[in-house]
Amino acid sequence: MDFSILVSDFWALTIDGLVVGAIIALVSLGYTLVYGVLRLINFAHSEIFMIGTMTCYWVVQRFGFTGYEDPLPLWKFAGLFLLFGFAAAVVSGVAAVILEIVAYRRLRVLGASRLSSLISAIGASFFLVEVFQKISGAKNLDFPRLISKDTLFEFQNAYITQDKLLVIVGAAVIFYILNRVIHHTKLGLGIRAVSQDERASILMGVNVNRIISYTFLLGGVLAGFGSAFYMVFYETTKANVGFLIGISAFTAAVLGGIGNVKGALYGSFALGLFQQYTSAVLGYNWKDVVTFVILVFVLLVKPTGLFGEALQKARV
């Protein structure tokens, strides 16, 4: 136990926790959206994120960076970021839709148990990781430094840099747009309708298959943007990058109340901050233990997560 770091570097830990939380949130939303409409854990979602990071890498590689040049001027970076960010979003989105068709659709139509879908997703996850392992030569891929990470200003011992601001502000913009989409568009209405009652939605003439495809698309797009931020912040990826972040994102979704979009968002930030603080106080290696202990306590007090589920209850 060492609280001195938590005191002296509180704001540094907080800023980093927010950055990590924002990236986790973008992945976590995919879990929660799919859970909302299908009541199943999209186990291969972490691989959708991985595909996004790979897309970012390949797009940027086209420009022939060596990694030794100075960071780009801001406008050039903005252009490039939008390019690979949207490319990742599109590729991840499409990959998520294909995943749904290949791994889930038939099982859903047959009305198979949700565990069957889970195993199908695990198979898909193995497949994707190994395929990209093969393509990337099982190496960590290096992403060039595109944006300066020099300190913009110092705040209470915390160094604020452009990339951190980019992630936090960018994620906030995406969350705002997502909120508009869910609450003020027909698609959002469809998603909410299917989440509440699939059968009633069918009776009301909702094309459920299409709504589910759109939900996967939306989840994939969000993961794609998340992967772009991830690449700017961490500057490396590999075929099994999805595993750790996938577990964090899933945990965050459960913490907030799976199926609940707002819950996933707050759950992710809570998780990001909390892990940052506990690794400072207890050591990095204990953070997962503490996280799960806290999770158990939260769920015992509030069995459906901090913000509750969108629906009445989760069932296997």
Partner 1 sequence: MKKIISIVSASALAVGLTVAVTPSAFAACGGNPVIYFQGAQTGAYQETGINEANGVILAIDKYNATNPAVKVDYKVIDTQASGTQSPALAKKVVDDECAIGVVGGMYSGETINAMPIYEGGKVPVISPSATNPALSNKSAYFHRVVANDFVQGPELAKIALRVSKRLFIVDDATPYGNGLAKIVASNAPKIVVGSDKVTEGTTNFTSVVAKVKAKKATAVFYGGYYPEAAIFIKALRDNPATKNVKFIAGDGVLDGEFIKLAKKNAEGAYLTAPGQPMAKVAPALEKEYKKKFKREVGLYTLEAYNAAYVFLQGIKAGKTTRESLNTWLADATVKAVGQTISFSSTGDPFKLYMNEYTIKNGKMVWVGSLL
Partner 2 sequence: MAKLNLRDKFGDWWDGASPFSRTVFRILAVLAAYAIPFLKNPIIDTPETSFNSVLFYPLVMFSLMAVGLNVVVGKSGILDLGYVAFFAIGAYTHAILSAHTGLNFWEIIPFAMGFAMFAGVILGLPALRLRGDYLAIITLGFGEIVRIIAVNTEAIGGAAGLTDIPGPSSVFGIEFTVMDPRPYYWLTLTAMLFVIWGVLRLSHRKPGRAWEAIREDEDVAEFMGVSTLKYKLWAFIIGGAVGGLAGAIFASNIRSIQPELFTLNLSIMILACVVLGGMGNIWGVILGAVLLGYIPEKLRFLSDYRIIFFGLLMVVMMNIRPNGLLPRKKREVVGDKS
Give the footprint of partner 2 on this chain (CB under 8 A).
35, 41, 102-103, 106-107, 110-113, 115-120, 122-128, 130-131, 134, 247, 250-251, 254, 258, 285-286, 288-289, 291-292, 295-296, 299-300, 303-305, 313-316
Shortest distance, CB of residue 27 to partner 2, whole angstroms? 15
Q: Residue 158's beta-bridge partner residues?
A: 155
86: partner contacted, choices partner 2, partner 1, none (Cβ within 5-8 A by kind): none
The answer to the question of residue 28 lying near partner 1 (CB under 8 A) is no
Nearest to 248 by CA among 202, 279, 213, 212: 279
Which range, of 5-13, 26-34, 99-107, 263-271, touches partner 1 by CB under 8 A? 5-13
Which residue bears the tokens 């931020």?
229
| Least CB distance to partner 2 at residue 116 (A) | 5
Alpha carbons 235 and 57: distance in angstroms, whole number: 9
Number of residues that bind partner 1 (CB under 8 A): 35
Burial (CB count within 10 angstroms: exposed 0-12, middle 13-18, buried 19+), residue 14: middle
Dihedral sign (CA 299, 300, 302, 304): positive
- Tokens representing 121? 């997703």
Q: Which CB sits closer to partner 2, 63 or 286?
A: 286
140 binds partner 1 (CB under 8 A): yes
Per DSSP, the three-state class of 310 is coil
DSSP helix/strand/coil, 308: coil
Tell me which residues in 88-107 interact with partner 1 (CB under 8 A): none
At what angle are helices 242-256 and 10-38 packed, to 10 degrees? 80
Which residues here bind partner 1, judged by CB under 8 A?
A: 4-5, 8-9, 12-13, 16, 20, 67-68, 133, 137-140, 142, 145, 149, 151, 159, 161, 234-236, 238, 240-241, 243-244, 276, 279-280, 283-285
